[in-house]
Amino acid sequence: MATSPSASSRAGPVLARRIAVGGALALLAGAMGGTTPVRATPERRGPAAGLSAAPVGVVRAVTDAGELVLEDGRRIRLAALHLPCAADLPQDTGPEEAARLTALAAAARDALRAWAVGWSVVPWTPRLDRDRYGRVLAQVVVGQDRPVWLQAALIAAGLARVETMPGVEAGAARLLRLEAVARRHRRGLWRDPLYQPRAPDATWPWIGTFQIVRGTVRAAAKVRSRVYLNFGADWRRDFTVRVDRPSAAGFRTADLLDLTDQYVQVRGWLYPTNGPMINLDHPTALETRVILE
């Protein structure tokens, strides 16, 4: 397995990383029901369909924001992943909650550094391969002999949540299944109430944060070019999901309107428009077959 040029003088840290990656493989296999982790073989075309291999690189560092910095200067943002961070808490959070989040964030970054720094990686890029800051958006496979899909290992360990956006959905279906298993087994952040899925009537305190919300759609309505999914009797105050121009966002309007009385799960950033609202702009963020834990 390729390592950085100076790895021979760092046998101890490299051995520790080997152990960490081996542990990730075992954890990932368990989370997937004992199946073999996804390999980066030419036949599979990486960890999921719809991805393209970028040049191999060696990870020099992991930033506090969870970016991979490669020795060739590329900066990789882990696609479809939301690592614990300060932005997960409202401004009026107490010191106890802040301390718990700090510990969870540190655990996620420590694992990411142990599994990635000094190792060769293959970035597998989705349709949208750069963000607005010029960072490479990628699903990342670590190593060559026993490759580990980095996002899957983090999700399976309960160290991150799935967060997708338009053009960066490749691989998300499998990650969502791994997330559901990790949540059911209360791994990592899923042991903490800070990260439990919210009921629609419990979303007000979490305005400005990324959340998973699950509940029953009480009414669905089309208003001009938008569809609204209302989760309460008072659309002026209760939680709502808004879909602008459904066809452009990848939805059929009729399918959205048929969600009345259905139990769904949606994820996204909460913002105040009348009541708390999530703007749904791609299908992966809406789950109509919810795995209850």
Per-residue pLDDT of 246-267, as tens digits, reads: 999 999 999 999 999 999 999 9
Q: Between the CA of residue 68 and those of 143, 150, 195, what are the distances in Å?
A: 14, 11, 24
Look at residue 238 and tell me whether its pLDDT is greater than 50.
yes
- Is the pLDDT at 173 greater than 70? The verdict is yes
Kindly state the average pLDDT of the residues 204-218.
97
Helix axes of 172-184 and 11-31: crossing angle, nearest 10 degrees: 90
Q: Are 83 and 64 in contact (CB under 8 A)?
A: no
Using CA atoms, how far residue 17 sits from 20, 41, 109, 275, 290, in Å, is: 5, 23, 14, 47, 36
Q: Which CATH architecture has domain 5-193?
A: Beta Barrel (2.40)
Inter-residue contact 285 to 161 (CB < 8 Å): no
Split at pLDDT 50, 70, 90, the class of 283 is very high
Task: Output the pLDDT for position 19.
Answer: 42
Q: To the nearest whole percent, how much of the chain has pLDDT over 70?
A: 84
- The C-alpha atoms of residue 69 and residue 95 are separated, in whole angstroms, by 32
Mean pLDDT value across residues 109-117: 96
* Per-residue confidence (pLDDT) for residue 144, from 0 to 100: 78
* pLDDT interval class at 289 (50, 70, 90): confident
Beta bridge partners, 68, equal: 62, 76
φ, ψ (nearest 5 deg) of residue 54: -95, 170
How is the chain split into domains, by residue range?
A: 5-193, 197-287
Q: Do domains 5-193 and 197-287 have the same CATH topology?
A: yes
What is the rounded CA–CA span in Å between residue 8 and residue 132? 37
Mean pLDDT, rounded, of the chain = 86
Could you give the percent of the chain with pLDDT greater than 90? 77
pLDDT at position 35 over 60:
no
pLDDT of residue 13: 40
Per-residue pLDDT at 9: 32
Report which residue type is found at 209.
Answer: T
Distance in angstroms between the alpha carbons of the first and the last residue of the chain: 38
Q: Given the structure tokens 């296999």, which residue do they identify?
A: 29
Structure letter (DSSP) for residue 130: B
Encode pLDDT of 60-112 as tens digits: 999 999 999 999 999 999 999 999 999 999 878 899 999 999 999 999 999 99
* pLDDT value at residue 260: 97
Q: H helices of 131-202, where?
A: 150-156, 172-184
Q: Which tens digits make up the pLDDT trace of 182-196?
A: 999 999 999 999 999
Average pLDDT over residues 28-53: 55
Owner of token pair 């299944």? 177
Q: Which CATH superfamily is domain 197-287 in?
A: Nucleic acid-binding proteins (2.40.50.140)
User: Which pTM value belongs to this model?
Assistant: 0.84
| Residues 6-29: tens digit of each pLDDT | 333 333 344 344 444 444 444 444
pLDDT at 290 over 80: no
How confident is the model at residue 170, as a pLDDT? 95
